[in-house]
Amino acid sequence: MHRNKKNDNHCLSYLISYVSLSILALATTVGSTAIADDNYPEWSIKGFGSIGFARSDNETIGFYRDRTSTQEVKKSLEITTDSRLGLQLDVDINDSFHFTTQFVVRDHAGDFFEQNLDWAFLKWNPLVVEDYEIRVGRLGVDAFLLSDYRNVGYAYPWIRPPHEFYANIPLTHFDGADIKKSFYLENGELTLKLGGGYTFTKLSEYFQDFDLEGPVLVANIIYTTGEWRFRAGYGHIWQSKNLESSLFSRIRGVLTNPATNFLIPNLNQFLPLTNINDTHLQFMSLGTAYDDGTWLVHAEASYLDEEGQQIINADVASAYLSIGRRFSDVTLYSRYGIAHSFEKKTKALDINPLLVGTPNEPAIREINQQIIDGFNGQAIKQQSLSIGLRWDFYQKMAFKAEWTHYWLGKNGKFSSLWQHDPNENTPHHVNLVSFGIDFIF
């Protein structure tokens, strides 16, 4: 396991700043109790959770809920993937100040306390300039339809957020500030939000031990009416940290080794492809949700643009459409999802002409192919069709069951959103069955 001292240090400093923020909030609370309305401070602790089970019909590749998951789903029933427990503390300090913190116990790579602390922020609604909201602290990356509640199964019809769309976007929080302006219009509410700060998200070991880390900018426009929600979101991360895992030092070793450069001349020209610091990651999304009490529709499309490198991922377009209908306490739904990478293919180099025709030629060609596969193989080519149900069998509790068929065959030897044995080809079809209970309290 690769651990980085620097990370530990900054986790610690973040934790210290959250504790200070909480103490500040509490201090303000105590201080404000004497002011006018004696209903302040108003406290509440609320929670949400899921107990979920999943299994697939395939042992070759393992299903991951997203890139931060450490436990994959294969043929045996797996409870870790979708189970989670969230706790949220809200404190209305007074009319204008509000403190919120949310901690979600779940399977997440990296430090359990630091990575699972999704929010801890102080919110200020200035009374003098109405309809503005300013938040400081640890905030959600609110660039997609489900961004801020992807862990709250009770709030959506499915077992988990659509895989093609959300598995590739592991970013849930950043440390910084945002500002929101609301316009209350005749038929709905329009909000504009702009936020910025620093993000550190630990991805699972399987995904090459690389951390999303660097300055982040998030913006969105949301229009909400009684039945519709429309939104456009944008996010930008300046990746500031390079790949530092042992795997990547091995790859760099191979690329710079004089022996391999003799077998495959100019192999060291690929070295820059292994540097991901100072690259940009941009995501743009459009989404809509409709709910008239009987019909529920969710649709979202995004484009993830990765500049400067390709070893982690190519540009990816993804989208999904889900249509559900309620029959009293039961909701039936069907969902289609697609993710497709636009690869910037790296061309294979020729092997040393002196070695052509020698008994070693096949072995060298094999190595050459593996290197190129490594650069070109981080694609996501996936489609899926799901059918499922949600049954609200008791107040604040819902039972869910879902069957999903994935088409993966075009990924060659890799498929980015799955745990994969590199010696095996990706199976063409995988079925995943999931069921569980979501609740709030």
- Shortest reach from residue 392's CB to other proteins, in Å: 4
User: Which lies closer to other proteins via its Cβ, residue 126 or residue 272?
Assistant: 126
- From candidates 19, 27, 35, 155, binder to other proteins by CB under 8 A: 155
User: Which lies closer to other proteins via its Cβ, residue 133 or residue 373?
Assistant: 133
Tell me how many degrees the CA angle 355-271-418 measures, rounded to the nearest 5: 95
DSSP 171: -
Instruction: Indicate the Cα dihedral angle 269, 275, 280, 282, nearest 10°.
Output: 90
Amino acid at 331: T
Could you tell me which stretch among 63-71, 92-100, 235-243, 273-281 binds other proteins (CB under 8 A)?
Answer: 92-100
Least Cα distance to 273 among 247, 243, 250, 297 occurs for: 243
Q: Is 224 in the site for other proteins (CB under 8 A)?
A: yes
- Shortest reach from residue 393's CB to other proteins, in Å: 7
Q: Which residues contact 368 (CB under 8 A, 6 or more apart)?
A: 264, 348, 349, 351
Cα–Cα distance measured from residue 428 to residue 272, given in angstroms and rounded to the nearest whole number: 33
User: Within 187-206, which residues bind other proteins (CB under 8 A)?
Assistant: 188-189
Q: Is 106 in the site for other proteins (CB under 8 A)?
A: no
DSSP letters, 324-366, are EEEETTEEEEEEEEEEEEE--PPPPPPPPGGGTTSTTHHHHHH
Residue 292 falls in which region: left (phi positive, over 0), alpha (psi -120 to 50) or beta: alpha
Q: Is 311 in the site for other proteins (CB under 8 A)?
A: no
Q: Is 293 in the site for other proteins (CB under 8 A)?
A: yes
DSSP 226: S
Tell me the β-bridge partners of 91: 43, 99
User: Which lies closer to other proteins via its Cβ, residue 216 or residue 222?
Assistant: 222
Q: Is 37 in the site for other proteins (CB under 8 A)?
A: yes
User: Which lies closer to other proteins via its Cβ, residue 38 or residue 347?
Assistant: 38
Could you tell me which stretch among 22-30, 148-156, 280-288, 407-415 binds other proteins (CB under 8 A)?
Answer: 148-156
Using CB under 8 A, list all residues that contact other proteins: 37, 39, 42, 44, 46, 48, 86, 88, 90, 92, 95, 98, 100, 102, 119, 121, 123, 125, 127, 130-131, 140, 142, 147-149, 151-152, 154-156, 182, 184, 188-189, 224, 226, 291, 293, 326, 328-329, 392-396, 398, 440
